[in-house]
Structure 1
Amino acid sequence: MRYVRIENLKEGMVNCKPLFGKNNEILLNSGVIIRESYISKLKELGYHGIYIEDSISEGITPTVLIDDNLRIECVKSVREVYDKFSSNKVLNEEVIEDLKTCVDEIINSVLSNKELLINVIDLKGYDDYTYSHSVNVAVLSIATGIKLNHSKNVLYRLGMAAFMHDIGKIFVPKEIINKCGKLTNDEFALVKRHPLKGYELLKRGGNFPHYSCIGILHHHEKYNGTGYPIGLSGEDISLLGRIITISDVYDALTSDRPYREALFPSESVEYIMGGSGTLFDPDITSAFVRIIAPYPVGTCVNLSSKKSGIVVRNYPDFCLRPVIKILFHSDTPVEPYLIDLKNDPDARDVVITGVADF
């Protein structure tokens, strides 16, 4: 299978992964032949692309770190927490247990995956952004924690904090959260209060892990001290806060927001790498970029050598040097063959220049 961006989707292509709507209903099942009306509807719903099955992608299967059913259950649990807090500001033990179950299942799912590499495209759902973002940040944070060899106890607290990192936004008016233009100083001051409000809300309940509350409080602090709400720097920021801030920024960058379109994973990884040592803890940044596939398996790419093809394998420690199945020289089709950007001596001067349109 391969990923085709929505603008390159054509009638007659075959969808090969189920697409889910905001209420977790199946919008388009696997095996369905794409029609022009489907393409228009997918554009309207905000889809950036879909996975298709065709002759050039035969035998290529991206690794799935978190399956759709688990993601849907986690989104449902996060939604219930927000609904409970929005109505009565109380978090009961039953809802906490649901969150704990989700965290445990994500930890086990990630730990059971031999190749710890995340295709962010597979994380993207089309539920309400707040809920799906919370789940994505949890998955990214837990995977980073595993890459850093932290214990299950730390991973559990990290996951709980990541799920609830934005709960303080229930105190921010929705018109500010969804504003397309630049926020006023007063509006931004309200937004900057949400880590503290979330911390106070969860700490007051008494049944949420204290260390997780600290992670929520710190998730907008920056390594160089320019963050909020306290302005902490370096290791004065809790471990959970330092991990969650990277996951939070990365998922936001790869998501459509009211004020800009989503960036491609490769562009977002470059931003994270550029912030190492200033915005982000350098050791955590190094671990984070080793769990992200900037060019996921199934992505069509152009090379500086004027060749193009499809990514068939990624290397966690060399995220920008995947194995590529070459399909075209310039625009001329060729008999497919493999180039290993990491190990082929003849490919040392070759780099990926962008995503291909075929």
Structure 2
Amino acid sequence: MEKWKVANLKPGMKFSKPVYFDGDNLFAPENVPLKEKDLKRLGKWGVEEVESDGALLSDEVPVDNETASNFFEQPFRSPEQQEIVAQYSGLVSRLKELHEQLRNGNGISSEISDSIVDGLLSLVEKRKNDILQFVLYGLHGEAGLVENSLNSVVLSSLVGKNLNMPKHKLLHLSTSALLHDVGMLRLPTEISEKKGALTKDELKVVRTHPIHSYKIITRELKYPEEVGLAALQHQERWDGNGYPRGLSGGSIIVPARIIAVVDSFEAMVSRRPYRSSMIGYTAMRHILSDNSRRFDPEILKVFIRTMGIYPIGSIVLLNNSCIARVIENNSEAPLKPKIKVMINEKGLEYTEDDGEVIDLFSNREFFIARAVDPKERAQKAEV
């Protein structure tokens, strides 16, 4: 990777490939302009260099499109969708309550985590597409440990369902996904909440969090061994270069392999304090480029069938210049989802979300030309 001095970077610069700092920490996705506030954060954290395999594409300051992008955000407006928002917010509060118990070591019980998992699995069962769009669009706002944990349950359970897991195995997987990072709560706050770059010694401490998660899950919350092992192994890599034990291949249990993929994807599509989220299509491309380094190739195939190349909620440009939103995936044809037109070929906006629904699998006249970032201007795009 080529290194770039942070001092030489300017707002508006874009790179043809993702930009990283301190190793594997993603700073900016490909083709996404750098922001002044993000560059200031790097300076504050003492980060002097970033790395990228890509080339510098632009040094022009981008136009602020936040207002124009509101149309593309398609906020949940119907009573049914607002109900999902309310239920999700309630689960956030419940998980925060559990995290507080775990921090203090008082009154710890699996009752809260069981109720959260049951609530999320019920939402997935009844309103799969809506809850998935809610998660992938980041409509809950900037994500932290609580939101990431809830989102991981949603995504992991969908993969588990496509693997035809029996109910008790699906419950174990979902519980592991909810609790896989609770070990972070047992790290010194000066490390877990540090805003700047971590030192090598601090990074070693952070890499102990799966061990803490395992102990919390099995010893304090009294869950079965498999639930704890999935959390213990979720940072292991298929090629053996993960942690904490350097396991590889089949020595990593299946639930941990699922959470590894989900955790990585979820981190890309969620908004973080130090960067914007990727669009689902871009995140999926990064996952697909793994080449059996981090992820089990077979689990990756199931994940693709589950999510589609263009995940639900993705904004896409069709070959006839219409702009549409993906509303349903086709597991047998990941490139041909069902879409709803948002802006037709004449530039007419369907502001009431009442555009035509097209199944791209059965209607071969249309196809997706490219994904559209919701941050782009809300106007008819050119192919």
User: TM-score when scaled to structure 1?
Assistant: 0.72
Q: Deviations over 1:146-197 (max 9, x none)?
A: 1111011111111211111111112334454444554321121111110012
* Residues 195, 220 of structure 1: 8 Å contact kept: yes
Change in CA separation of 1:186 and 1:172 when aligned onto 2, cut-off 3 Å: same
Matched, 1:106 2:123: no
Q: Deviations over 1:245-273 (max 9, x none)?
A: 11111111112224432111111111222
* Residues 221, 229 of structure 1: 8 Å contact kept: yes
Change in CA separation of 1:319 and 1:239 when aligned onto 2, cut-off 3 Å: same
Letter in 1 for 2:336: R
Correspondence for 1:86: 103
* Residues 161, 215 of structure 1: 8 Å contact kept: yes
Tell me how far apart the structure 2 counterparts of residues 204 and 338 of structure 1 sit (CA, whole Å). 51
* DSSP-derived class of the 1:224 partner: coil
Matched, 1:342 2:361: yes
* Residues 307, 329 of structure 2: 8 Å contact kept: no
**Which among 78, 82, 97 is matched to residue 111 of structure 2?**
97
Correspondence for 1:188: 203
Matched, 1:354 2:372: yes
Tell me how far apart the structure 1 counterparts of residues 280 and 146 of structure 2 sit (CA, whole Å). 20
Correspondence for 1:41: none
Letter in 1 for 2:108: N
**Which among 167, 184, 187 is matched to residue 172 of structure 1?**
187
* Residues 158, 306 of structure 2: 8 Å contact kept: yes
Letter in 2 for 1:99: S
Correspondence for 1:28: none
* DSSP-derived class of the 2:316 partner: strand
Within 5 Å, give how 1:9-20 maps onto structure 2: 9=69
* Residues 284, 309 of structure 2: 8 Å contact kept: yes
Q: Deviations over 1:27-78 (max 9, x none)?
A: xxxxxxxxxxxxxxxxxxxxx945277xxxxxxx8x9699223322322222
Matched, 1:244 2:262: no
For structure 2, which runs of at least 5 residues remain unmatched after alignment? Answer: 1-64, 379-383
Change in CA separation of 1:201 and 1:285 when aligned onto 2, cut-off 3 Å: same
Correspondence for 1:51: 75
Tell me how far apart the structure 1 counterparts of residues 83 and 166 of structure 2 sit (CA, whole Å). 20
* Residues 142, 270 of structure 2: 8 Å contact kept: no
**Which among 273, 286, 292 is matched to residue 277 of structure 1?**
292
* DSSP-derived class of the 1:51 partner: coil
Correspondence for 1:72: 89
Correspondence for 2:42: none
Letter in 2 for 1:86: R
Change in CA separation of 1:307 and 1:232 when aligned onto 2, cut-off 3 Å: same
- The percent identity for this pair of structures is 26
Change in CA separation of 1:72 and 1:337 when aligned onto 2, cut-off 3 Å: closer
Structure 1 vs Structure 2 CA RMSD: 3.5
Correspondence for 2:173: 158
* Residues 6, 50 of structure 1: 8 Å contact kept: no
For structure 1, which runs of at least 5 residues remain unmatched after alignment? Answer: 14-47, 54-60
Tell me how far apart the structure 2 counterparts of residues 215 and 66 of structure 1 sit (CA, whole Å). 31
Q: Deviations over 1:315-342 (max 9, x none)?
A: 332333233537444x755997666543
* Residues 137, 162 of structure 1: 8 Å contact kept: yes
Q: How many residues align?
A: 305
User: TM-score when scaled to structure 2?
Assistant: 0.68
Tell me how far apart the structure 2 counterparts of residues 159 and 346 of structure 1 sit (CA, whole Å). 40
Matched, 1:229 2:248: no
**Which among 120, 134, 145 is matched to residue 160 of structure 2?**
145
Tell me how far apart the structure 2 counterparts of residues 218 and 52 of structure 1 sit (CA, whole Å). 36
